[in-house]
Amino acid sequence: MAVPESGNHDRRGLGWVVATATISRILLNTARRFPYPFAPALSRGLGVPLPAVTALIAVNQATAVLGALFGPLIDRIGYRPMMLCGLGLLAAGMFAAGFLPVYAVVLFSLLLAGLGKSIFDPAIQAHLSRRVPYHRRGTVIGILEISWSGATLAGIPLVGILIERFGWRAPFFALGCAAVLGGAVLARLLIPSGPRQVQEDTGREPSAAQTLWPIWKQVLRQRPAVGALGFAFFVSAANDNLFVVYGVWLEQAFGLSVMALGLGTATIGAAELLGEGLTASLADRFGLHRSVTVGLLFVIVLFLVLPWAGDTYLSAMGGLFFLFLAFEFTFVTSLSLATELVPSARATMMSVYFASAGLGRVCGALIGGAVWTMGGIAAISGCSAVLGVVALVFLRFGLAHWKQ
């Protein structure tokens, strides 16, 4: 794996860290995403109605917003121990659900898994951003974010095989064991023997932050950070405004079966993978700031033309493919950019960035159904394009005078 070297890690060592962290994030993302397609299996296994399973999903997603609470702790305690904490929460949650298959325990287990992801993600991105030069940041973050599409293309199909062959509890045991293994490997790769672990992680003395509020203030008073948070909220709302209804659109417009809709989801996963690959290969060469701006412009244009691409199934899927590709490239590149906006509080910045994006997804999902009812795909596309324009305004506002 071609990963830039840094002063503290040789190329080979950092490559192993990136590879292990990417696989660990596939586990975390799979734990977050698999209840969606397998909600009926969970409903039957737990003996509860389907709406109760959607509540499990909602609790899992809500942890993205709670992640903002952990950012200052990550900056204060250190990236390495909090990464291991995140994987530990995933393992504990998965084993609890597997050994005690009752609704309340599974609800709490998915809460733990979601919190684990909300801790691990900003910690690993801050850790790598501290060690990778800014001009190569997009490459490493792009590789790391392959874990999102990896969960769709590999993690969820494997979960389906486990459920079919061994029952609905099997994925919980498998994810728990894999989380333990991932944590053990990362502990070997990351934990130093010296006594100044926090300072090596974060660049500050362990006592530099006596309270958590000053770290939040340090982020929120920065104009680039505020602009980035607004961008994350509105671009995520634009995406989920469409995402929650695209299946209904395809089903009504072309009479698709459930299997065909599943293939459509795989197409979106392939688009996400390609978008992440483009970030890894092109964003640094083109410039992160410029890449995010150009990518967002493409997203806005594709939102506007989507209704006119829906004459046939192939053209509609082509429009969705390029739209999700452009969105993934834009958002993943924006993560690389956000890691440098507040270097003295990287984990806090990334945690509130994920929280803002999570709030945007929730709002987009809430308005998507109403907008669809009012005007179908044309209204959805127009609304998402407007939200994209607002995201562009925030991006330009925040980065107008910013220099790395």
Rounded to an integer, the average pLDDT of 38-42 is: 80
Highest mean pLDDT among 116-125, 149-158, 374-383, 386-395 belongs to 386-395
Tokens of 44: 């039957």
Determine the pLDDT at residue 263: 65
Any idea what DSSP says for residue 210? S
Q: Which residue has the higher pLDDT, 248 or 293?
A: 293
d(CA 62, CA 57): 9
Question: In this model, does residue 193 exceed pLDDT 70?
Answer: no
> Which pLDDT tens digit goes with each residue over 195-210?
344 454 545 544 444 4
Tell the burial category of 102 from Cβ atoms under 10 Å away from its Cβ (0-12, 13-18, 19+): exposed
pTM (predicted TM-score): 0.80
**Which domains are assigned to the chain?**
11-207 (1.20.1250.20), 215-399 (1.20.1250.20)
d(CA 205, CA 393): 37
Residue 6 near residue 132, CB atoms below 8 Å? yes
Rounded to an integer, the average pLDDT of 176-183 is: 96
Question: In this model, does residue 162 exceed pLDDT 80?
Answer: yes
Determine the pLDDT at residue 124: 92
CA atoms within 13 A on the CB side of 99: 8
Rounded to an integer, the average pLDDT of 349-367 is: 86
Rounded to an integer, the average pLDDT of 385-389 is: 97
Full DSSP string of 122-145: HHHHHHHHHHS-GGGHHHHHHHHT
Q: Which range (250-254, 290-294, 382-386) has the least confidence?
A: 250-254
User: What residue type is 80 in one-letter code?
Assistant: R
Confidence bin at 404 (pLDDT 50/70/90): low
Q: Is 401 helix (H, G, I), strand (E, B) or coil?
A: coil
Long-range pairs for 214-219 at CB < 8 Å and ≥24 separation? 215/71, 215/72, 215/75, 215/76, 215/345, 215/348, 216/71, 216/72, 216/348, 216/352, 218/342, 218/344, 218/345, 218/348, 219/71, 219/342, 219/345, 219/348, 219/349, 219/352
Q: Is 375 helix (H, G, I), strand (E, B) or coil?
A: helix
Determine the pLDDT at residue 333: 94
Determine the pLDDT at residue 191: 57
Provide the 10 A C-beta neighbour count for residue 100.
Answer: 12
Q: What angle in degrees, to the nearest 10, is found between the helix axes of 346-399 and 246-254?
A: 70
**Average predicted confidence (pLDDT) for the chain:** 84
Provide the 10 A C-beta neighbour count for residue 133.
Answer: 13
Determine the pLDDT at residue 208: 42
Tokens of 173: 């045991």
Nearest Cα to 337, choosing from 287, 298, 297?
A: 287
**Percent of the chain residues topping a pLDDT of 90:** 36
Q: What is the dihedral of CA 397, 65, 117, 339, to 10 degrees?
A: 20
> Which pLDDT tens digit goes with each residue over 297-334?
999 999 999 988 877 888 888 999 999 999 999 999 99
Residues in the chain: 404
Question: In this model, does residue 192 exceed pLDDT 70?
Answer: no
Question: In this model, does residue 8 exceed pLDDT 70?
Answer: no
Rg (CA), the chain: 21
Determine the pLDDT at residue 211: 54
